[in-house]
Structure 1
Amino acid sequence: MKITQIEAIPFAIPYTKPLKFASGEVHAAEHVLVRVHTDDGVVGVAEAPPRPFTYGETQDGIIAVITKVFAPQVIGLTLLEREVVAGRLARTVGNPTAKAAVDMAIWDALGKTLELPVSELLGGFTDRMRVSHMLGFDEPATMVAEAEKMVERYGIRTFKVKVGRRPVTLDTAVVRALRERFGGEIELYVDGNRGWTAAESLRAMKEMADLDLLFAEELCPADDVLGRRWLVGQLDIPFIADESVPTAADVTREILGGSATALSIKTARTGFTASRRVHHLAEGLGLEVVMGNQIDGQVGTACTLAFGTAFESTSRYAGELSNFLDMSDDLLAHPLQIRDGHLHRSAASGIGVEIDPEKLTKYRLDK
């Protein structure tokens, strides 16, 4: 089970429409496919999505750090030495999605070697999750129409609404339009991507106080320490920390400092090894947990699903598992299918996906 090679393959797949949120917008999934090879001939895969607006990572930077820094430190270790891998990757500051992809590809290779699903290796709580869909910036009628499509076509009934970049009244009008259209048939929560001030955030939440929101996520900047604590103290729903908690240490600071009361776990950011630490910390502190999405493709979504189905707390709420629907294509030989508002994990070993070699050849950028 020794690791013999690590590949970092850039690829680009256009989105069917630009994805817009407070910290920026993206027009194509310019991601990196990471493959970990072993001396047994097993190949583990994972996906690293660059998010320069959030973590400062770029596609070229992810490739460089994996091939030039991480691979030399990891090659020669076995798939069971995951803590050794984590310690060596931790020597390098930042690069969260690059580290996460290497970690998850190792877990995938381990699952394939043992002929067991990663979800069962992690905990094996369930085989499915309810799906939450992200609605990006647009006019109220357009966003309502997209929600209608998701309900009718996929049975999705939980929506995360992107807010925070525009005037408060425009964003609250969208959320109100969604609630008026669907009533109590759907669950709603909002994500500001740190786009409002603390005062704007409180004003918005007061305007939406009658809309029965599940959560509020990252409404204002994490570095507005006093404003954020003040805001969280005014809210009567859980305030989710996301971009502000890339590590377990950050979780501890945010929660004990009174700057958040719930967490978004993103395997694209913390892999499986560090996500497990964050999960156990959240469980010990009694925090609500949502499985977030880093605008992953289907490989990344399968990783989120594998972790989310492993534990009771991570499968309690709908997971953000549908962003791949905005991509014009993907890399999988057998695409993921959302049915009746749920995504079922594969019973296959590892994370349960197979890369289509023809699609990879079509979309890879290093040809």
Structure 2
Amino acid sequence: MKITRIDAIPYRIGYRKPLRFASGEVHAAEHVLVRVHTDDGIVGVADAPPRPFTYGETQRGLVAVIETIFAPQIVGLTLVEREVVHARLGRTVGNPVAKAAIDMAIWDALGRTLDLPVGDLLGGYTDRMRVCHMLGFDTPAAMVDEANRVRDVHGISVFKVKVGRRPVGLDTAVVRALREGLGDDVELYVDGNRGWTASESARAMAEMSDLGLTLAEELCPADDVLGRKWLVGQLDIPFVADESATTPAEVTREVLSGAATAISIKTARTGFTGSLRTHHLCEGLGLEVVMGNQIDGQLGTACTVAFGAAFALTSRRAGELSNFLDMSDDLLTESLTIADGELVVPSGAGIGVEIDDDKLAAYRIDG
């Protein structure tokens, strides 16, 4: 079970339409496939999706830090020395997505070695999760049309609505159009990606108070310390910390300061090991948890549902598991399928999915 090599392979797959939100927009999945090889011939895989407008990582930066800094520190360790891996990765500041991908590829390799699914190794609570679909910026009519299509085709009835543009008159009109167009049996919540001020957020949430929203995520910046605490104190629904709470220390800070009452866990930035730490902390503090999406492809989504389904707390709410539907293609030999509003955890060893070598050859951009 000794790690002998770590690959970082950049690739690009276009989106059918760009996803737009307050902190940026994405036209293609420009990700890095991470592969961990062992001396037993096992290869574990994971995906690293850079988000420069959120964490500062780029595709080229991911490849560089994995190849030149992280791989030399990890090659030679075994798959069960995860705490050693965690400590060595922690010597380098930042780079959460690169660290997470290495961690998950190691877990995948361990599961393949033991012939067990990662979800069973983590907790094994259930084999599926309800799915939430994320709706990016568009006109009200287009967003209603997309939501209806996703509901009709995939049975999804939970939608996260990207806001953070002009609060009253644009964002609130979109959410109201979705409620009117989808009916009362659909769950809606909003994510501002820090695009509003605290006062704009308060006004917008008051404007939407009759729409039955269930969560509000990152409406205003976390570094507006007093304004955010003032805002959260007014809300009668959970306020989700996402990019402001990426480590257990940040979760503790946000919750104890009154700046959040729920947490988004994204395996793409905390891996399985870091996500375990955050999950246990949230469980101990009595916080609600949402399994978030980092605009993941199918490999990243398989990781998210494996972790989310492993625990009662993380499987309670619908996970953000459907944005791979917007990609024009993917790397897997067998596509994930969302039916009746649910995604079943792949049943194979490790993460449970396989990379199509021909597709990887077609989409990789490293020559």
Q: Same fold (TM over 0.5)?
A: yes
Tell me the equivalent position of 2:202: 202
- On the 8 A contact 1:23/1:54 being kept in 2, the answer is yes
Shift of 1:167: 4.1
SS at match of 2:46: strand
Measure, in 2, the Cα distance between the counterparts of 1:18 and 1:147.
Answer: 16
Q: Which amino acid aligns with 2:136?
A: G
Tell me the equivalent position of 1:10: 10
Deviations 1:246-274 (A, max 9, x none): 11100000000100000000000100000
SS at match of 1:76: coil
Tell me the equivalent position of 1:253: 253
Deviations 1:195-231 (A, max 9, x none): 0000000001000101111100000001101100000
Deviations 1:51-78 (A, max 9, x none): 0000000000000010000000000000
Matches within 5 A, 1:106-117: 106-117=106-117
Tell me, yes or no, if structure 1 residue 189 matches structure 2 residue 189: yes
SS at match of 2:183: helix
Tell me, yes or no, if structure 1 residue 42 matches structure 2 residue 42: yes
* Matched residue count: 367
Measure, in 1, the Cα distance between the counterparts of 2:204 and 2:363.
Answer: 41
Shift of 1:346: 1.4
Q: Which consecutive aligned stretches of 4+ in structure 1 deviate over 3 angstroms post-superposition?
A: none
- On the 8 A contact 2:131/2:321 being kept in 1, the answer is yes
Tell me the equivalent position of 1:239: 239
Tell me the equivalent position of 1:28: 28
Matches within 5 A, 1:220-235: 220-235=220-235
Measure, in 2, the Cα distance between the counterparts of 1:134 and 1:168.
Answer: 21
Shift of 1:165: 2.1
Measure, in 1, the Cα distance between the counterparts of 2:193 and 2:54.
Answer: 9
- On the 8 A contact 1:169/1:204 being kept in 2, the answer is no
Task: Give structure 1 stretches of 5+ with no counterpart.
Answer: none
Tell me the equivalent position of 1:147: 147
Measure, in 2, the Cα distance between the counterparts of 1:139 and 1:26.
Answer: 17
Tell me the equivalent position of 2:122: 122
- On the 8 A contact 1:21/1:136 being kept in 2, the answer is yes
Q: Which amino acid aligns with 1:43?
A: V
SS at match of 2:196: coil
Measure, in 1, the Cα distance between the counterparts of 2:347 and 2:321.
Answer: 18
Measure, in 1, the Cα distance between the counterparts of 2:19 and 2:54.
Answer: 15
- On the 8 A contact 2:168/2:207 being kept in 1, the answer is no
- On the 8 A contact 2:167/2:204 being kept in 1, the answer is no
Tell me the equivalent position of 1:92: 92
Shift of 1:322: 0.3
Measure, in 2, the Cα distance between the counterparts of 1:17 and 1:23.
Answer: 17
Measure, in 2, the Cα distance between the counterparts of 1:57 and 1:43.
Answer: 25
Tell me the equivalent position of 1:350: 350
Measure, in 2, the Cα distance between the counterparts of 1:26 and 1:147.
Answer: 19
Q: Which amino acid aligns with 1:176?
A: R
Greater displacement, 77-86 / 168-177: 168-177
Tell me the equivalent position of 1:156: 156
Measure, in 2, the Cα distance between the counterparts of 1:167 and 1:348.
Answer: 45
Shift of 1:168: 2.9
Q: Which amino acid aligns with 1:9?
A: I
- On the 8 A contact 2:295/2:324 being kept in 1, the answer is yes
Measure, in 2, the Cα distance between the counterparts of 1:208 and 1:110.
Answer: 47
SS at match of 1:310: coil
Measure, in 2, the Cα distance between the counterparts of 1:224 and 1:253.
Answer: 14
Measure, in 2, the Cα distance between the counterparts of 1:60 and 1:168.
Answer: 39
Measure, in 2, the Cα distance between the counterparts of 1:182 and 1:136.
Answer: 16
Q: Which amino acid aligns with 2:102?
A: V
Q: Report the TM-score when normalising by structure 2.
A: 0.99
Q: Which amino acid aligns with 1:330?
A: D
Tell me the equivalent position of 1:326: 326
Task: Give structure 2 stretches of 5+ with no counterpart.
Answer: none
Shift of 1:26: 1.0
Deviations 1:275-333 (A, max 9, x none): 00000000000000000000011000000011001000100010000010010000000
Between the two proteins, what is the percent identity of the paired residues?
75
Q: Which amino acid aligns with 1:39?
A: D
Measure, in 2, the Cα distance between the counterparts of 1:215 and 1:33.
Answer: 32
Measure, in 1, the Cα distance between the counterparts of 2:361 and 2:268.
Answer: 23
Measure, in 2, the Cα distance between the counterparts of 1:119 and 1:168.
Answer: 42
Tell me the equivalent position of 1:80: 80
Q: Report the TM-score when normalising by structure 1.
A: 0.99
SS at match of 1:125: coil
- On the 8 A contact 1:30/1:49 being kept in 2, the answer is yes
RMSD, aligned CA: 0.6
Tell me the equivalent position of 2:297: 297
Shift of 1:182: 2.0
